[in-house]
Amino acid sequence: MAVRSFTLKAPTPMPGWGLSFGIMLTMISVVVLIPMAVLLWRGFVDFGAAAMWDVVNRNRVWNALALSFRAAFVASLFNLAFGVLLAWVLVRYRFPGKRIVDAAVDLPFALPTAVAGIALTAIYAPNGVFGSVITQTFGIRVAYTELGIWIALIFVGLPFVVRTVQPVIEEIDHETEEVSATLGASRLRTLTHVVLPMLAPAALTGFALALARSVGEYGSVIFIAGNLPNVTEIAPLLIVIRLEEFDYDGAVAIAIAMLAISFALLLAINLIQIWSRRRMGAV
Amino acid sequence: MTNAMIIPARRRRLRSATSEPTLVKWLLIGLCLAVLTVLLFAPLIAVFDEALRRGWAFALASLSEPDAQAAIRLTVLVAAITVPLNATFGIAAAWAITKFDWRGKAWVITMIDLPFSVSPVVAGLLFVLMFGANSALGVWLVANGFPVVFAVPGIVLATLFITFPFVARELIPMMLEQGRAEEEAALTLGASGWRVFMTVTLPNIRWALLYGVLLCNARAMGEFGAVAVVSGKIRGQTTTMPLMIEMFYNEYLSVAAFTMAGVLALLAFVTLTLKSALEWRYADQLAATHRH
Amino acid sequence: MNIEIEEISKDFGTTAALLPVSLSIPSGTLVALLGPSGSGKTTLLRILGGLEFPTAGRVLFDGSDATGLSVQERRAGFVFQSYALFRHMTVFDNIAYGLRARPRKSRPTTPEIARRVTKLLELIKLPDIGARYPNQLSGGQRQRVALARALAIQPRMLLLDEPFGALDAKVRKELRHGLRDIHDTTGLTTVFVTHDQEEAMELADLVVVMSIGRIEQVGKPEDIRARPKTDFVREFITA
């Protein structure tokens, strides 16, 4: 065993190692690895950490980063709660049109973001179907405000929690809920103390996926956002603006800042996951 | 014990221990449908409503404009290059990862997943940095008549990055679950490697592969942010359908924008229908998370 | 507490799981519902626990009608074949669950809950496992924790569905005595479901032999063995 651990691959009669590994490694290198390395090289070596900090440490950039992460967080929280509810309704209840609703949950995966962007803008604009009603009743505007960004990001992240939680609900043993009832717990208590904790790890995974997706979202947001600097200008848009000004260093700095914050967040979520999974055993 | 009187059991309506009161049930269903209507269904209807505002003829006419035609052709071309490349990569990666034991698998899987958590705009930026006017490689490529950025190769690369995990992520859990026994059996029967793949593996993974390809294609045709950054948005040349939508929209050509959006929405509709059909029909042959 | 089952029947759609059955269980007995799968024994147990509702008939607890009582109100300590322990809670929290679920008025104080859980852990002879999670326990330990959890609510009766079904032969023998001991200490009317005639004969005071939705014979183990009433019983207990 000691010898084997020094070789890359354990011996096997299975064919196609060279070909499959070769294709895989080439594609990963060309599409992901080298481009990411170039980005980091441009940022940390050519431009320098201090210079990048100067780019990021300006109000407009901070505001854009804060907006992107705040809106993504709010939208993902909404999707966390609504996604668990929707998954429950889809697995446990019967109602007419359920299959269609189930299929439609994936619409945000299949519908191009630009289409979602202009469509949401059309209905939530001050003269749109919902926008006009909301403005008249509550006196607030949706499109061209941060609220509009929330709506777009909720749309984009909607399927993630539903799709991670659904299979877990399907696998819940009815006996677990029944035993809780025999011990005297009300239905509500069973749901909050027994069912929800069982769904938590999967829901958190879905939350992380939705967050990662919505932090970087561009297409569906720019139409509805209004794109006012410091107010409704998201970080990805700022990268595009820097590129249009041929300020490559500025774009690189903001991109690296976004990646760094994203990875810190995902790492934190992963740690929570590992902790909660360890408690529940290897499941 | 010959108690002839059989007393009706339920004097009080009792509910099963694993369900909620009927009223609560319907309230929750209603709440879900309301939210989905406001967030999902209304925008979808809005697309077609806006597109057909001035009638079918007007809408269809906007699609036959040369720029619109060019955008449709380009989108199909990009998908036609990206999707097969991605499927090849997905199969190769899944084969290497599930049929062999080697060190560093976890890192490779992380690399495959990485594009999920990178902003599309950053994805575009990556290829601008590599092949753009300010990189030596980019300048050399342009000088030799092979521009990447602001040209089709850049769009293909950016789309490849965005769709990178789709097929591999579908196949890996599926093939892990299926194990290696069938392939090993075929080998002992004297089949060649290629024959094993074509006659044993491929039939086992075909629906999962189709599923991955379907999602990959939908994303490839619809990608906006990454393509916007690398394409340069040259009308008639490097403008894909989603970019064309933006141009029409910004030029206040609302019907043209929403008609093109309607075409992509129809594509999404077809994708979802096929996807659901696969989930219902071949549930046992897809990765476990898609089995409803 | 004595249990009267009066003409209880249960249909699932068009199939009858239980034909009208009647049975009288004196207070403090240890009863085995013995039968092959599909005999309706689990359905009968679940009706007693309030997890299933009879199509017709009544259940009386100490002479008063309990048919309309909800699961929560029945206070039946129920142990499932899978044990259904809460994976995300420690053994301590599992056992304390029922006490904490009580309405504030009748909920014991935190130290009182701790005291009772500790006592139950001693009763099942596993005093040191309170801080562990279910996945860190052996099958036999899990079964005993499930039993302790059911006992924590001070149940009026104990209902067990194939309590030894998921255990290997050696542990099964040990735990049989464990259940007998706990029954004798608590004095609770106890009903358990089994398809294993040896288990039923060895453990129970009263054995109820069931086949496809019917009660074939009720009696003490030795009586059933000596005088099987029907061919079915004779074949089943010699099998």
Q: Is residue A5 part of a domain?
A: no
d(CA B7, nearest CA chain C) in Å: 6
Q: How many CA atoms lie within 13 Å of C14's alpha carbon, on the beta-carbon side? A: 0
Which positions in chain A touch C160 (Cβ < 8 Å)?
none
User: Of A173, A176, A178, A183, which to mutate for an interface test with C (greatest number of C Cβ within 10 Å)?
Assistant: A183
d(CA A279, nearest CA chain B) in Å: 23
Q: Is residue A129 part of a domain?
A: yes
Q: Tell me the DSSP string of B179-239.
A: -SHHHHHHHHTT--HHHHIIIIIHHHHHHHHHHHHHHHHHHHHH--HHHHHHHTT-TTTT-
Which positions in chain C touch A280 (Cβ < 8 Å)?
87-88, 133, 135
- Of B267-271, B286-290, C50-54, C71-75, the least confident: B286-290
Spans of all domains in chain C:
3-75+155-238, 87-154
Q: Which chains touch B (3 or more CB pairs under 8 A)?
A: A, C
Confidence label for A73 from pLDDT (cuts 50, 70 and 90): very high
Q: How many residues in chain C?
A: 239
Percent of chain A with pLDDT over 90: 83
Position A8 scores a pLDDT of 72
Please state, in angstroms and as integers, the Cα–Cα distance from residue C149 to each residue in B106, C69, C105, C146, C178, following that order: 41, 21, 21, 5, 15
More confident residue, B290 or B174: B174
Which residue does chain C place closest to B2, by CA atoms? C7
Mean pLDDT of B6-20: 66
pLDDT (tens digit per residue) in A209-227? 999 999 999 999 999 998 9
Determine, for residues C71 and A178 on separate chains, whether the beta-carbon distance falls below 8 Å.
yes
Confidence label for A280 from pLDDT (cuts 50, 70 and 90): low
pLDDT (tens digit per residue) in B83-98? 999 999 999 999 999 9
In terms of Cβ atoms closer than 10 Å to its own Cβ (0-12, 13-18, 19+), residue A269 is: middle
Distance from C-alpha of C183 to C-alpha of C200, rounded to nearest angstrom: 15
Determine, for residues B10 and C53 on separate chains, whether the beta-carbon distance falls below 8 Å.
yes
Mean pLDDT of B246-256: 95
Which positions in chain C touch A199 (Cβ < 8 Å)?
none
Strands C189-194 and C157-161 turn out to be parallel
Determine, for residues B44 and A21 on separate chains, whether the beta-carbon distance falls below 8 Å.
no
**Rounded to two decimals, what is the model's pTM?**
0.90
Mean pLDDT of B210-223: 95
Q: Are A215 and A68 in contact (CB under 8 A)?
A: yes
d(CA A177, nearest CA chain C) in Å: 8
Q: Is residue A2 part of a domain?
A: no
Percent of chain B with pLDDT over 90: 77
The CATH architecture one would assign to domain B55-290 is Orthogonal Bundle (1.10)
Q: What is the DSSP letter of A57?
A: S
Distance from C-alpha of A203 to C-alpha of A198, rounded to nearest angstrom: 9
Whether the per-residue pLDDT at B1 is higher than 80: the answer is no
Which residue does chain C place closest to B11, by CA atoms? C68
Q: How many CA atoms lie within 13 Å of C56's alpha carbon, on the beta-carbon side? A: 11
Q: Is residue A10 part of a domain?
A: no
Task: Say which of C51, C56, C71 has its CB closest to residue B6.
Answer: C56
More confident residue, B6 or B16: B16
Distance from C-alpha of B239 to C-alpha of B257, rounded to nearest angstrom: 13
Sign of the C-alpha dihedral computed for residues C100, C102, C103 and C107 taken in this order: negative
SS3 for A111?
coil
Distance from C-alpha of B166 to C-alpha of B87, rounded to nearest angstrom: 9
Which residue does chain C place closest to A275, by CA atoms? C88
Determine, for residues A103 and B273 on separate chains, whether the beta-carbon distance falls below 8 Å.
yes
Q: Is residue A159 part of a domain?
A: yes
Whether the per-residue pLDDT at A1 is higher than 90: the answer is no
To the question of domain C3-75+155-238 being in CATH 3.20.20.150, the answer is no
Q: Is residue A111 part of a domain?
A: yes
Please state, in angstroms and as integers, the Cα–Cα distance from residue A47 to each residue in A3, A50, A258, B120, B229, following that order: 44, 8, 17, 22, 21
Contacts of C75 (CB under 8 A, 6+ apart): A184, C153, C154, C155, C156
Q: Is residue A236 part of a domain?
A: yes
Position B17 scores a pLDDT of 84
- Scanning A116-175 for CB atoms below 8 A from C yields 173, 175
Which positions in chain A touch B289 (Cβ < 8 Å)?
163-164, 167
Mean pLDDT of A265-279: 81
Distance from C-alpha of A76 to C-alpha of C12, rounded to nearest angstrom: 43
- Lookup result for tokens 């086949």: C211
Position A282 scores a pLDDT of 45
User: Of B117, B137, B166, which to mutate for an interface test with A (greatest number of A Cβ within 10 Å)?
Assistant: B117
Which residue does chain B place closest to A213, by CA atoms? B117
Confidence label for B5 from pLDDT (cuts 50, 70 and 90): very low
Q: What is the mean pLDDT of chain B?
A: 91
Q: How many residues in chain B?
A: 292
Position B12 scores a pLDDT of 57
Q: Is residue A57 part of a domain?
A: yes
pLDDT (tens digit per residue) in B198-208? 999 999 999 99
**Residue B199 burial (CB count, 10 A):** 11
Contacts of B191 (CB under 8 A, 6+ apart): B199, B200
d(CA C78, nearest CA chain A) in Å: 6
Position B2 scores a pLDDT of 41
Dihedral angle of Cα B157, B162, B167, B168, to the nearest 10 degrees: 90
Determine, for residues B224 and A24 on separate chains, whether the beta-carbon distance falls below 8 Å.
no
Whether the per-residue pLDDT at A2 is higher than 90: the answer is no
Determine, for residues A12 and B128 on separate chains, whether the beta-carbon distance falls below 8 Å.
no
- Lookup result for tokens 């359905």: C43
Determine, for residues C7 and B3 on separate chains, whether the beta-carbon distance falls below 8 Å.
yes
Confidence label for B7 from pLDDT (cuts 50, 70 and 90): very low
Please state, in angstroms and as integers, the Cα–Cα distance from residue C109 to each residue in A38, A203, B201, C105, C153, following that order: 63, 33, 61, 10, 14
SS3 for B150?
coil
The count of domains in chain A is: 1
Position B183 scores a pLDDT of 92
Q: What is the largest CA-CA distance in chain A?
A: 75
Distance from C-alpha of B159 to C-alpha of B177, rounded to nearest angstrom: 29
d(CA A221, nearest CA chain C) in Å: 39
Q: Which chains touch A (3 or more CB pairs under 8 A)?
A: B, C
Q: Looking at this protein, which amino acid is placed at residue A272? A: I
Contacts of B37 (CB under 8 A, 6+ apart): none
Interface predicted TM-score (ipTM) of this complex, two decimals: 0.91
Please state, in angstroms and as integers, the Cα–Cα distance from residue B228 to each residue in A109, A199, B122, B233, following that order: 19, 38, 11, 7
Position B290 scores a pLDDT of 64
pLDDT (tens digit per residue) in B146-177? 999 999 999 999 999 999 999 999 999 999 98
Position B239 scores a pLDDT of 96
Determine, for residues A281 and C77 on separate chains, whether the beta-carbon distance falls below 8 Å.
no
User: What is the CATH number for A54?
Assistant: 1.10.3720.10
Position B279 scores a pLDDT of 87
Position B137 scores a pLDDT of 93
Mean pLDDT of A105-112: 94
pLDDT in tens, chain C (239 residues): 999 999 999 998 888 899 999 999 999 999 999 999 989 999 999 999 999 999 999 999 999 999 989 999 999 999 999 999 999 899 999 999 999 999 999 999 999 999 999 999 999 999 999 999 999 999 999 999 999 999 999 999 999 999 998 888 888 888 998 999 999 999 999 999 999 999 999 999 999 999 999 999 999 999 999 999 999 999 988 86
Strands C157-161 and C76-79 turn out to be parallel
Distance from C-alpha of B119 to C-alpha of A212, rounded to nearest angstrom: 8
Distance from C-alpha of B135 to C-alpha of B142, rounded to nearest angstrom: 11
Q: Are B40 and A110 in contact (CB under 8 A)?
A: no
d(CA A190, nearest CA chain C) in Å: 9
Position A7 scores a pLDDT of 60
